[in-house]
Structure 1
């Protein structure tokens, strides 16, 4: 069950202006950091379909939607801190983060 909080779980501001458009598919993540934030918010809000779709194609067969949904619902999502982010390459990037749950 997806919930829609006022404040974005990733800590980036108002949910409707931050991760919600990416999760809903009305906007694409343009940086690795945006995608990381949206995936964290996806877990925090129970957006399991988005998590499956945004899993890299090489790992998608291993994604277990039922397990992800259980983990999403059973966890208490406390926050996300981006420690560093590099998107200097056109086809890949790197994000160091701390997810608290």
Structure 2
């Protein structure tokens, strides 16, 4: 028998961050909602609406094989740029 999804040990966490009241700033949250609604992901992937909690919640996912954070930020890179960061760079 398979354990309920919320009790499984997820290997990958996808965390969407952002404030829904601030337009583009809510992108990460909207992205997670989109994935939950329109896509079926493998059982090893956990989708998390991190809301306005920001980077403070990332330590909760330190034991994951992979952590994908979707957020809006002001940068000199073009929109849609993907950045790979170490834990030290996030802190």
Larger strand proportion of the pair: 2
Q: Which has the higher contact order (CA 8 A, sep 6+)?
A: 2
TM superposition score normalised by structure 1: 0.27
TM superposition score normalised by structure 2: 0.29
